[in-house]
Amino acid sequence: MTDSTGAVLHTLCLLILVVQSGRCTESPVSEWPSSTEDYDPLLSGPVDYSDFVTQCDKEDVRSFRQVFLPAVYALVCVLGMVGNVLVVLTYLYFKRLRTMTDVYLLNLALADLLFLLTLPFWAVSVVLGWVFGPAMCKVVHGLYRLSFISGMLLLMCISVDRYFSIVRAASAHRHRSRAVYCSKLVAVAVWVLSALFAIPDLVYSEQQAGDGSMRCRLRQDNSTFIYTTGLQLSLGFVLPLLVMGFCYTVVIRTLLLARNFEKNKAIKVVIAVVLVFLLFQLPYNSVLLLDTITDVNVTVTDCQLSKRMVLAVDITKSLAYTRCCLNPFLYAFIGVKFRRDLLKLLKEMGCLGSRSLLKLVAGRPTGFNGTRSSMVTDTDSTTTFSP
């Protein structure tokens, strides 16, 4: 009985081996993909690699930035330093803080100088990465925010002063001595307020590793990024634009009603101030708003869109930075009294000869009969028509 049972088991084992060997020799096409590269263990079908997120290659953008940004920053820094240093030296040398505008212009030049001091650090970081350490990262970020916000608020204060000087000239003249004191208090308040708003940059800026080098950036969380960007857009553009728009609109309307024949020149100056502010600040702030929306929307993965946004930010930012070079010409050099003091300073520094100074100071346009025309802007005091 035992022998027969063993024979039966032996026969069953042989049959099982034969069946399994037959299945192993069958073609696998019907059950398995023809290539292991097309096999998806989750979907049991071919893989669509177009749905996979790949690393965005921005090497061409980095190459452009390493040439464009340092060149623009160097040019802006040199020209801006020359113009704003001359403004500061002229005001301090002649001690001519006689009006509210004088106080604001001196502080505006100081704000621009602080801003320009940060540009060499950014230029070097574009090429070599951030090599100045974490402490300087916080300092440079803080100075940038402090100077940027204070400069925009001071431009707003200048427009308010021009409003009172032209639209409410009688009241402004009666309170002239008190107004100078008030302007100094306002300037201090602007610096204190700007310093408070610069604190987040001091706290949240840090040295980060990225793209094979160190970078100085704000901490990349949505709350910090939205706060700093919103602060720059509101205090650095929207509020000054609204105040300047109102003040200069009323100023132009008042000048149009004036009977002085120099009003057309004054109107052109005011329009130039507003247009420069819009042309140099509006593109950057618009792109900055779009860039913020793109960064917050984490679902955006278009590489080309990301590259175009980086280029747009760099170009419009460089355009906005150029405003520091134009501020001395728009606000300080245009005043006749200031221009004369500047020429005297250049003479005493040995940059101008006596004959050249006499021509520049005494030279005035003449009429057809050879007599000098009487111009409002040629008075010794700061004209109320200059911005």
Question: What would the DSSP string read from start to end of 261-295?
Answer: TTHHHHHHHHHHHHHHHHHHHHHHHHHHHHHHHHH
Instruction: Give the highest mean pLDDT range of 52-66, 113-127, 330-344, 369-383.
Output: 113-127
What is the pLDDT, as a whole number, of residue 236? 86
Residue 123 Cα distances to 32, 75, 184, 356, angstroms: 57, 11, 34, 38
Contact 109, 88 (CB under 8 A): yes
How confident is residue 40, by pLDDT bands cut at 50, 70 and 90?
Answer: very low
- By C-alpha distance, which of 165, 157, 159, 170 is closest to 270? 159
pLDDT greater at residue 150 or residue 6: 150
How far is the C-alpha of 169 from the C-alpha of 383, rounded, in Å? Answer: 12
* Mean pLDDT taken over the chain: 76
Q: What integer pLDDT is reported at residue 27 of this predicted model?
A: 44
Of the chain, the end-to-end C-alpha distance in Å amounts to 122
Residue with tokens 């250049």: 346
Tokens matching residue 377: 């802007």
pLDDT of residue 310: 86
Whether 260 shows a pLDDT value over 50: the answer reads yes
Highest-pLDDT range among 222-226, 268-272, 310-314: 310-314
Picking from 87, 222, 216, 75, the residue whose alpha carbon sits closest to that of residue 143 is 216
Burial class (CB in 10 A: 0-12, 13-18, 19+), 275: exposed
**Amino acid, res. 125:** S
Rounded Cα gap, residues 266 and 347, in angstroms? 29
Q: What is the pLDDT of residues 47-69, one digit of tens each?
A: 444 454 556 777 788 888 899 99
Residue 320 φ/ψ, nearest 5 degrees: -65, -35
> Closest by alpha carbon to 330, among 31, 146, 101?
101
Residue pLDDT, tens place only, 188-223: 999 999 999 999 888 888 888 876 778 888 876 667
CA–CA separation, 370 vs 245, rounded Å? 40
More confident site: 318 or 2: 318
- Looking at mean pLDDT, say which of 108-112, 177-181, 324-328 comes out highest: 108-112
Contacts 24+ apart (CB under 8 A), 67-75: 68/314, 68/315, 68/318, 69/122, 69/123, 69/126, 69/314, 69/318, 70/123, 70/124, 70/126, 70/127, 72/318, 72/321, 72/322, 73/119, 73/120, 73/122, 73/123, 73/318, 73/321, 74/119, 74/120, 74/123
270 in Cβ contact with 252 (< 8 Å): yes
Q: Which residues contact 360 (CB under 8 A, 6 or more apart)?
A: 343, 352
Is residue 307 pLDDT above 70, yes or no?
yes
214/205 Cα distance (integer angstroms): 13
pTM over 0.85: no
Overall residue count recorded for the chain in this entry: 387
CA distances in angstroms from 342 to 361, 376, 379, listed in the order given: 10, 19, 16
pLDDT at 151 over 90: yes
How much is the average pLDDT of 100-118? Answer: 92
The average pLDDT across 133-152 equals 93
Tell how strand 205-210 and strand 213-218 pair up: antiparallel
Cα 228 from Cα 142, distance rounded (Å)? 12
Task: State the Cα–Cα distance between residues 380 and 340, nearest whole angstrom.
Answer: 9
Q: Lowest-pLDDT range, 138-142, 233-237, 270-274, 356-360? A: 356-360
| Domains parsed from the chain with CATH numbers | 64-334 (1.20.1070.10)
Q: What percent of the chain has pLDDT over 70?
A: 71
pLDDT of amino acid 84: 93
Q: How far is CA 159 from the centre of its chain?
A: 21
What is the pLDDT at residue 358? 52
